[in-house]
Amino acid sequence: PVQLLEQMLITPVPLQLTAAKLRGFVSDHHADVVAAEGDVVMLRIGARYSPLIRRASDRPVPFLVSLRFAEKRVEVAGQSDTKAARTLIKVVIRPTKNRDRRRGDVLERTRQLLVSLKSYFMAHEYHGPFPDDEEPEELGILICARDMLQPPD
C-alpha cells in the first residue's frame, strides 16, 4: 500500500511513559501489534475501528501504522545543567489496501488518526533529525518499552 502520511513527533515525556500511552492507544483503537522489534512498533487498526466513521454510508478503512521511537535529552529552560527526557516518534500511516476512488476520504481519515496519536502521546510536530539507531543509552529503554507492549502471559 502507498504511504499516505509520514511525520515526526516529539512528546514531553520519557520513552517509558510513552510506551504506556501506546498501550492505551492500542487498547482504545482495538489495534493489533503486528511487530515490535527494536525501536519500531507496527500496528494494524481494523476497518471497524478506523476513525471518522459517522454515517452508515461511510466505508471503513483499515490502516497500518509504523511507529519508530527514540529518546532525546534536552536542556530544561533556564537550567543549563538539567536535562529532561523527551520521546521522538516517527509516524508512518498507510491504508492496508490502495483504492483510488476513495482517496480523499482515506486522506481525511489518515489525518484524523494522526490527530488521535498526537492526543494520546501529548505530542506535537518535530522538525529536527531523528537520532541514530546505534545510541547505546537508548537500548535498555527500548527493550523495556517493547516488553511493556507484549500481552501478559
Give the model's pLDDT for residue 135: 45
Give the model's pLDDT for residue 129: 74
Each of the 153 residues of the chain gets a pLDDT tens digit; together they read 566 789 999 999 999 899 999 999 999 989 999 999 888 999 999 866 555 555 555 566 788 999 999 988 877 777 777 788 889 999 999 888 766 456 667 788 888 889 999 999 999 998 877 776 444 444 555 555 666 666 665
How far is it, in rounded angstroms, from Cα 100 to Cα 106?
A: 9
